[in-house]
Amino acid sequence: MGTSMNFSYTNRVKLEQFDASCIQYGKSVRILIVDCPALRLLYDALAAKSFSEQEVSRRIALAMEIKLSLLHTYYDLATLAGIENENIVPELKRVTYMPLEDHASFALALRRSRTIFALVTRIRSLWDKLFIYVVMTNESDDILHDLDNAKSKRRFFSKRYKCGVANLLPELIHEANNDIKTLDEKYRTPELHGYGSIRGWVFDTPAEWETPYLSGIMAHWNMVSKFAWKIFEDVSTKKSSFD
C-alpha cells in the first residue's frame, strides 16, 4: 500500500522553498516568473492576524492555485510567442504559411489553435480564482457561496464591487470587466461558451506578423497580471526569474 503525502500550507519553510522553486523554474526554462503571490509572506501576514490554522490553510491553498495558474500561463504565453516568432514573424516564412493549400501549414495552424485555446482557457479559469480569492478574504462565507452559485462570476464580481474593494480601485475593476467580456466574445470556443465561433483566422495567411488576434490576447494578459498584482501587492516582491 502506498503512502500519501500532503503539502502543508502552514509550513513556512515549505512555502519558502516553493516560492524559490518557482523562480528557479522560470530561470531554467527562460520564462518570466514573478514572486507574486509570495506564499511565505502571505503566511506571515495571516499568522500575524491570528487566523486559525484551518483558515490560513484555506487561503494559502487558493493562493497557491493562483500562483501555479500564473506560472502555467506564463509558460503558455512563451510557447505561443515561440511559435509565432519562428513561423509567422519572419516574412519569408509567413508568405508560405497557407494552411488550406499545404499540409505542413495546416498542421501548424492546428498547433496555433490548440495553444491559443489552452492559453485562453487557463486565463479564464485564473480570473475565476482571483474573484474567489477576493471574496473569500473580504466577505462572509455566505457571499462566497453566492459567488460560487452565480451564473457569471464576472458579472457578480463587477456589480458587487463597482465601487472597489481592498486594493482594487473601481477603475481597475471596470477595465477588467470590459477586458474579460472582450476575451469571451473574441476567443472563447464552443467547448467553453455557448456556440462560440470557428477560429478561422488561424487558417489565413496574415498580411502582417502582428495580427490583432494575438496582440489582443497579449494585451489581455497584461490586465490579468496587473489585477493579480494589486490583489497580492502587500505579500509580493519584485523578485523575478529574469533577475
Q: Enter the pTM of the model.
A: 0.88
**pLDDT tens string 57-88:** 999 999 999 999 999 999 999 998 898 889 88
**pLDDT tens string 170-219:** 999 999 999 998 887 777 655 555 555 556 778 888 777 666 567 778 78
Query: Could you state, in order of their start, the residue ranges of all structural domains in the chain?
Result: 12-235
Would you say 183 and 220 are in contact if contact means Cβ atoms under 8 Å apart?
yes
Q: Which residues, other chains included, contact 174 with Cβ-Cβ below 8 Å and sequence gap of 6+?
A: 158, 162
**pLDDT tens string 124-157:** 899 999 999 999 999 999 999 999 999 889 999 9
The pLDDT value given to residue 30? 94
Would you say 23 and 35 are in contact if contact means Cβ atoms under 8 Å apart?
yes
DSSP 101-126: T-HHHHHHHHHHHHHHHHHHHHHHHH
The pLDDT value given to residue 211? 61
CA-to-CA dists, residue 219 to 96, 150, 179, angstroms: 27, 27, 9
What does the alpha-carbon distance between residue 243 and residue 232 come to, in Å, rounded to a whole number? Answer: 20
Q: Is the pLDDT of residue 4 over 50?
A: no
The pLDDT value given to residue 201? 76
Residue 17: left if φ>0, alpha if ψ -120 to 50, beta else—which one? alpha
Q: Is the pLDDT of residue 1 over 50?
A: no
